[in-house]
């Protein structure tokens, strides 16, 4: 077994924030907790800057939080064996530069080459995790590495101190009030049932707003700027809002029991706090999906759409693991993802969900404990890499 001290992570941004969000969290954790020399190659610095304001979009190379960030402009470039890291990761099957692969051939020992796949709860993932794939032309082997929800996968991204930081924050009402207050929330909004909303544009947001307007108790919905923009603007116009540009950061409106407040797009660390501070979360893609699980709050996942509705199969596979005994979470999840086979009484489902909230909170707590037993993705990945190197 040979230790690995350097790692190159190649990321092509497809889902604006999910891809780079996952890669950035992994890169930071490997550098901070394991002392790995990490180089993150990313093709879209603009999206990266939205979640990490320290990024300079004009630089080809920069050092941020102990990670070397390289702008991956194209497939060209000259590389020598000394440029190659001990571990080379292509995220979600992106093609790394051919000359980098050529340089890998000159390394002794050869680098560990991983294809870090997308997160799925489907059973076939366990059978494919850590499978080897010899290169058809070169004496190089690539391994498929899957995050997942069981001990037969690589687990989920989880920093060593995350749960402790979460608990400290959730037990400190003053810290929560200060955080949300800095984002513009008023005392009345803080005392309401708090929901964060992060979704793709096709989500049925307006329909849900109608249900929330007629709630028996006040609801505050926090929406990042640019998310569900059409539904947010329509709600604010109908509510007669006239503060600033409708839908822009800082704008808000109230109608019935519902207040919608638009937040600036905040860095990853602040987004974690938003999930922790809310009573219920709507998340999308993969990065915020995982962070919502560690928040220990019930949530609805808006899965990234795929051709032939393959994402519906992935959604159902997760729901069978996470919320098999929660009819309200399952029904709302299917509706939110346009996967329900029959009409849904949305007001009734939301009413059932609110009544089941204590049980859902306990379900979320139990889920966190179960997922922690699988170890964390970064440590599991390094252990595997050292074993095969």
Give the tens place of pLDDT for each residue, 70-109: 999 999 989 999 999 999 999 988 999 999 999 999 999 9
Share of the chain above pLDDT 90, in %: 87
- For tokens 């220990």, the residue is 296
Of 19, 44, 272, 287, the catalytic one is 19
What pLDDT sits at residue 128?
97
Confidence of residue 242 (pLDDT cuts 50, 70, 90): low
Phi/psi of residue 157, nearest 5 degrees:
-65, 125
pLDDT(237) > 60: yes
Count the Cβ atoms, other than its own, within 10 Å of residue 156: 21
pLDDT for 16: 63
Mean pLDDT of the chain: 94
pLDDT at 244: 59
pLDDT band of 363, cuts 50, 70, 90: very high
Q: Could you tell me if 63 and 70 are in contact, meaning their C-beta atoms sit under 8 angstroms apart?
A: no
pLDDT digits (tens, 9 = 90+) for 87-96: 999 998 899 9
pLDDT of residue 82: 96
| Number of domains observed in the structure of the chain | 2
Q: Is residue 119 part of a domain?
A: yes
Same domain, 146 and 240: no
Is the domain of 32 the same as that of 145? Answer: yes
CA 95, CA 371: separation in Å to the nearest integer?
A: 31
Beta-strand relationship, 252-255 and 258-263: antiparallel
Average pLDDT over residues 321-350: 93
* Claim to verify: residue 308 and residue 174 sit in the same structural domain: yes
Tell me: pLDDT of 2 over 80: no
Same domain, 182 and 321: yes
How many angstroms separate the CA atoms of 184 and 316, rounded? Answer: 37
pLDDT value of position 240:
82
The answer to whether 30 and 382 have CB atoms below 8 angstroms apart is: yes
Integer Cα distance of 76 and 79 in angstroms:
10
Q: Is pLDDT at 15 greater than 60 in this prediction?
A: yes
**Distance between CA atoms of residues 137 and 304, nearest Å:** 34
Domain contains 138:
yes
pLDDT higher than 70, residue 33: yes
Strand pairing class (219-224; 112-116):
unpaired
19 carries an active-site annotation = yes
Assess if residue 287 is contained within a domain: yes
382 in the same domain as 239: no
- 269 with 332, same domain: the answer is yes
Distance CA 15, CA 257 (A): 33
Residues 55 and 126 placed together within one structural domain of the fold: yes
What CA–CA distance (Å, rounded) separates 298 from 378? 25
Q: Which among 43, 189, 286, 376 is annotated as catalytic?
A: 286
- Shared domain for 189 and 323, answered yes or no, is yes
Domain of 26 in residue numbering reads as 6-156+375-388
Same domain, 204 and 280: yes
Over residues 7-18, mean pLDDT: 86
DSSP state of 299: E
Half-sphere exposure of residue 271, counting CA atoms within 13 Å on the CB side?
28
Within a domain: 1? no
Euclidean distance between CA atoms 124 and 358, whole angstroms: 33
List the one residue out of 204, 199, 150, 158 whose CA is nearest residue 322: 150
Structural domain contains residue 193: yes
Answer whether residue 46 is part of any domain.
yes
Q: State mean pLDDT over 290-312.
A: 93
Considering the domain architecture, whether residues 202 and 350 belong to the same structural domain is answered as yes
Considering all CA atoms of the chain, what is the largest pairwise distance in Å, rounded to the nearest integer? 68
348 in catalytic set: no
* pLDDT(17) > 70: yes
CA 287, CA 273: separation in Å to the nearest integer?
14
- Same domain? 42 vs 179: no
Task: Judge if 116 and 103 occupy the same domain.
Answer: yes
Position 32 scores a pLDDT of 97
Q: Residue 84 falls within a domain, yes or no?
A: yes
Estimate to the nearest angstrom the gap between the alpha carbon of 84 and the chain centroid.
28
- Report the CATH number that the domain containing residue 325 is assigned in CATH: 3.40.50.2000
Cα distance between residue 284 and residue 200, in whole Å:
7
353 belongs to a structural domain: yes
User: In the predicted model, is pLDDT for residue 1 greater than 60?
Assistant: no
């Amino acid at each position: 077994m040979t230790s690995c001290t350097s790692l190159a992570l190649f990321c092509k941004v497809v889902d604006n924030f999910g891809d780079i969000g996952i890669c950035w969290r992994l890169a930071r954790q490997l550098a901070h907790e394991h002392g790995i020399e990490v180089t993150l190659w990313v093709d879209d610095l603009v999206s990266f800057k939205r979640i990490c304001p320290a990024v300079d979009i004009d630089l080809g190379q920069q050092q941020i939080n102990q990670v070397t960030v390289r702008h991956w402009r194209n497939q060209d470039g000259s590389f020598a064996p000394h440029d190659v890291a001990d571990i080379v990761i292509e995220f979600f099957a992106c093609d790394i530069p051919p000359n980098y692969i050529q340089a890998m051939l000159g390394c002794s020992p050869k680098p560990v080459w991983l294809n870090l796949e997308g997160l799925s709860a489907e059973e076939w993932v366990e059978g494919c995790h850590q499978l080897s794939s010899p290169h058809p032309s070169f004496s190089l082997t690539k391994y498929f590495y899957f995050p997942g929800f069981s001990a037969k996968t690589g687990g989920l991204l989880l920093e060593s101190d995350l749960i402790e930081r979460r608990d400290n924050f959730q037990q400190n009402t003053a810290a929560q009030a200060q955080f949300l207050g800095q984002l513009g929330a008023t005392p009345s909004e803080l005392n309401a049932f708090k929901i964060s909303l992060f979704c793709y544009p096709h989500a049925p947001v307006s329909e849900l707003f109608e249900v929330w307007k007629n709630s028996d108790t006040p609801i505050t919905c926090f929406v990042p700027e640019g998310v569900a923009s059409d539904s947010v603007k329509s709600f604010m116009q109908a509510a007669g809002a006239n503060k600033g540009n409708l839908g822009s950061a800082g704008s808000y409106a109230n109608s019935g029991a519902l207040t919608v407040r638009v937040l600036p797009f905040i860095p990853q660390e602040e987004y974690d706090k938003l999930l922790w501070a809310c009573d219920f979360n709507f998340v999308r893609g993969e990065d915020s999906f995982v962070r919502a699980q560690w928040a220990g709050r019930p949530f609805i996942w808006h899965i990234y759409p795929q051709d032939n509705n393959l994402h519906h199969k992935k959604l159902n596979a997760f729901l069978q693991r996470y919320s098999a005994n929660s009819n309200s979470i399952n029904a709302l999840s299917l509706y939110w993802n346009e996967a329900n086979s029959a009409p849904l009484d949305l007001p009734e489902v939301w009413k059932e969900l609110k009544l089941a909230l204590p049980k859902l909170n306990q379900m979320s707590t139990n889920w966190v404990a179960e997922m922690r037993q699988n170890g964390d993705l970064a440590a599991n990945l390094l252990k595997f890499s050292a074993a095969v190197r």
